[in-house]
Amino acid sequence: MSAVVAFVGLGHMGGPMATNLVKAGHRVLGHDLVPDALAAAVTAGVEAAASATEAVADADVVVTMLPAGRHVLGLYDEILAAARPGTLFVDCSTIDVADARTAHKRAVTAGMRALDAPVSGGVVGAEAATLTFMAGGGEAEFAEARPLLEAMGRRVVHCGGPGAGQAAKICNNMILGVSMIAVSEAFVLGERLGLSHQALYDVASAASGQCWALTVNCPVPGPVPASPANRDYRPGFAAALMAKDLGLAADAARATGTDTELGRRAAELYAAYAEQVGAAEDFSGIVRTIRDRGEGSTA
């Protein structure tokens, strides 16, 4: 069934996601603070709203795709009173678990319904409608959002109650950040031991070292031709976004008294790396800083 969707945040991810909702036959009222982002979405069939408040007034569902928790909470404070009672608020941004739960509570207190539904799959997945959605909230809210999420993605997983989608997202990305560092350290150690990249790849990809960081996003050029290492580390998944997600995981670990020693160290390493390269490099480029840090002695 077609819905009226307010879509706020039409950046790298939100723009193509909103476009895919239009393609699926939904009426999408879009808003972004950046006029160029809004104009690009309008070209793709999104109807421009002069403000977020105007966008949500007639919406069945409000989708947000914003940089961080403070943006989501700030926007909710602005728009919750403008929506019709019972409107479903679906936040697809990657934000702190605690902020997601606060957003959920504020929405419910204002007479709305809410779901957190962060994504993985990057801009390529947003454009191709192949994202994975990790949802947190009630069964009924999930069931209602599901057709919309399926129009923007390939896999939709209900992870539990409010905040569970964000929890799944940061736990998964903590595995990814730590494993990318482990794979990179192994390649650099192998280099110093005279082992070719291909030889290590051929062994580890079919042995117990196998993981996505190795077999899909391989941090050295050669073994996996499509990995960002083969195009001078152009993203892919930007280092700055990995640093952000590991920071959220470290915050959640502190808040819950969890000793995620490797996750914490990965957050530090990615924060330092992202400070140098920002969004310009794929997160697998961290292999170069690992290589540069060592002395390279083969004695």
Dihedral sign for Cα 26, 27, 32, 34, please: positive
Write down the least CB distance from residue 186 to ligand NAD, Å. 26
Residue 13 interacting with ligand NAD (CB under 6 A): yes
The answer to whether 169 is a known catalytic residue is yes
280 binds ligand NAD (CB under 6 A): no
Q: Which is nearer to ligand NAD, 209 or 247 (CB)?
A: 247
The residue annotated as part of the active site, out of 23, 105, 169, 244, is: 169
Stretch that binds ligand NAD, among 31-39, 193-201, 206-214, 224-232 (CB under 6 A): 31-39
Who's near 225: CB < 8 A, 6+ residues apart?
none
Binding flag, residue 98, ligand NAD (CB under 6 A): no
Residue 218 phi, psi (nearest 5):
-45, 125
Q: Is 129 a residue that touches ligand NAD (CB under 6 A)?
A: no
Chain center to CA of 219: 20
For ligand NAD, the closer of residues 30 and 190 by Cβ is: 30
Shortest spacing between CB 241 and ligand NAD, in angstroms: 5
CA distances from 260 to 178, 205, 256, 267 (A): 11, 26, 11, 10
Closest CB 65 distance from ligand NAD, rounded Å = 5
Instruction: Verify binding: residue 66, ligand NAD, rule CB under 6 A.
Output: yes
CA distances 189 to 170, 193, 221, 267, 298, Å, are 28, 6, 16, 21, 10
Q: Which residues of 200-220 are buried (b: 16+ CB within 10 A; e: fewer)?
A: bbeebeeeebebebbbebbbb
Rounded to the nearest angstrom, the gap between the alpha carbon of residue 28 and the centroid of all alpha carbons in its chain is 22
Q: Which residues are catalytic?
A: 169
Q: Which residues of this chain interact with ligand NAD, rule CB under 6 A? A: 8-14, 31-34, 37, 52, 65-67, 71, 75, 93-94, 119-120, 122-123, 237, 241, 244
